[in-house]
Chain A
């Protein structure tokens, strides 16, 4: 009997390891493969048993369920039928996450058997310019949030003359409501490694680093193990025996949110304080140790293998407007069906929250959705017709960021959320620029004045947000006004001076 069970951090946080122990005790002859997660977190731990060649799902399972499931799988109350037929899964277009939840993450033969390495093999037959054109034609834009065209960034590095160039993967996924990077690294680490190798071939870089946040110990362990396996199997080093060199290492962050900003990340990687650098010079010209450097998010790099395996046109066929390809939307917070949903750009926010996500977990009305992490704007239900795309969200006064959707029900305290945005900025500010360092502290104070009923405070807050937005060096100070001002605009009553109770 073939049994599959995720070892993704979310599944483990919900008891998957105890389930695995029970399976080992009750069915010692079965083959248990620990995989990544399918991304249907509300069903975790999601057990899968292969029946007549089809993987059937069971979930959420507890150790006490195992004996009965093994005894009569299809008759069990927690039987979900074939996993591919679960509506949430069936509605997706899984390109970047095709193998996540399917294979043992550090089994490189399983990786190759499920389409892995075919992108790299094709890349090895191409000249560097042709590789860059492939990325440009795919329309891929930075999935970390900024949305900069990946092909143009790569070309800048390719054309920069240097004795050493670097590929740096930004895996400092600090935004609340996002976990796509973690899920990819824990579920299909070779996909990221393959993407980095292709990037190295395209721009002429021979060294790479993944800067991975310390809050993700499972991802660190999986990536570290995968790099060793990749080296042993010729994916790293002399790349597939081609004569091209590329090797990489995993580096651990140290709990600073601002290091998700690319120039802070480079300073941190160099062993300095994670302080933002002024741009220009761009990292593409003057990056890690002063050398030309590609800094790309995990999902950007992990999308590269599918683009090369199936061609740029197939990738660009998905999407909306200037947002091409697929986006892994993360449904988080107070949502009934939480998890990761990969689909072409263009679905409306309402479809994602209500149809795919099933509304709130508490069953109460949706009050607001924060999109793109702590620096993202709140959206209210009347904006739910906004299609998911870079320009479309920009036009609606927000940003898609790393595509995390944090849902709040009607009990959310919006002034409290605005205050938290400022508080978070104050805690995490690198301290280099004044609007962020001082502004965030003043922002907390001003919101406290508003909470106390000071009618003069709102004007100060608006002015402060403008200064932070226009005057900050990076997105931390520059975008903190998004959640603050969107909360104020959407829910002005919660910020209004309280009427005197005695009158």
Chain B
């Protein structure tokens, strides 16, 4: 259950979005930026504030790939699985990454360091394959760049 400070934090985020047309997604993004996830205990508070059902909030949280019900590892590696990256050998690099980290898609390494997420297009299709490590984009990904990127985060 949340403590008083956490309830306050959510209340402040909700108030910040008063007057927004269609405020739920901006609210959820703000909560995830603060807490690293959408805590289940926040759902009734959001629903109450927006005067909508808890089921509706839950439905929205679970519909979108971005919203998480558990925090990520300390670092997030996103690897593009879409067509342009496949055309440049992205699948093989992704397989190597998962093997080296000994985890699967959406998984986190045993040391809690790295979460690996698939992403369907970073818009770097003319310099494929592409990945994103903690928000930093990498184009023309190859084995060497992948090794360096993973070494930098898997600690």
Residues of A bordering B, CB below 8 Å: 9-10, 12-14, 41-42, 44, 173-179, 181-182, 207, 214-219, 251-257, 268-275, 288-289, 330-335, 338-340, 361, 370, 373-374, 404, 406-409, 412, 417, 420, 424, 427-428, 430
Contacts and interface: CB of A to CB of B under 8 A. Distances in A.
Contacts of B60: 271-273
Contacts of A331: 126
Given A214-B66, A288-B22, A332-B84, 4 more contacts: A42-B126, A253-B64, A332-B126, A430-B63
A218 B135 CA distance: 10
Contact of B125 (A179, A216, A428): A179
A257 B121 CA distance: 10
B88 A333 contact: yes
Nearest to B87: A333
Interface of B: 21-26, 28-29, 50, 56, 59-60, 63-67, 80, 82-88, 119-128, 130, 135, 137-140
Contact of A408 (B23, B87, B124, B137): B87
A338 B24 CA distance: 38
A173 B123 contact: yes
A330 B125 contact: yes
B127 A10 contact: yes
A424 B120 contact: yes
A13 B127 contact: yes
A257 B139 CA distance: 22
Contacts of A373: 83
Contacts of A340: 126
A268 B126 contact: no
A207 B19 CA distance: 14
22 contacts: A10-B124, A10-B139, A13-B124, A13-B130, A44-B139, A177-B82, A179-B124, A179-B125, A216-B122, A251-B25, A251-B26, A254-B25, A254-B29, A273-B60, A332-B128, A333-B85, A333-B86, A333-B88, A338-B128, A370-B83, A404-B84, A406-B83
Nearest to A423: B81
B13 to A, nearest CB: 14
Nearest to A217: B135
Contacts of B50: 271
Contacts of B119: 215
A89 B26 CA distance: 40
Contacts of A335: 126
Contacts of A256: 63-65
B77 to A, nearest CB: 14
A178 B67 CA distance: 25
Given A13-B137, A254-B65, A255-B66, A179 B25 contact: no
Contacts of B123: 9-10, 173, 178-179, 181-182, 215-216, 219
B22 A417 contact: no
Most-contacted residue by chain A among B64, B84, B124 (CB, 10 A): B84
B121 A215 contact: yes
Closest CB pairs A-B (n = 3): A271-B24, A338-B126, A176-B82
Binding site of A, secondary structure by majority: helix, strand, loop or mixed? mixed
B25 A176 contact: no
Contacts of B140: 13-14
B109 to A, nearest CB: 22
Contacts of A272: 24, 56, 60
B95 to A, nearest CB: 13
A412 B50 CA distance: 50
B111 to A, nearest CB: 26
A339 B138 contact: no
A41 B123 CA distance: 12
A226 B130 CA distance: 27
Given A14-B127, A330-B125, A404-B125, A254 B87 contact: no
Given A251-B26, A330-B126, A406-B125, A13 B138 contact: yes
Contacts of A427: 120
Contacts of B21: 207, 270, 288-289
B64 A374 contact: no
B64 A215 contact: no
Given A256-B65, A270-B22, A176 B127 contact: no
A9 B82 contact: no
A354 B136 CA distance: 32
Nearest to A174: B121
Contacts of B86: 333, 417, 420
Contact of B83 (A12, A219, A333): A333
Contacts of B66: 214, 253-255
A215 B127 CA distance: 16
A445 B26 CA distance: 37
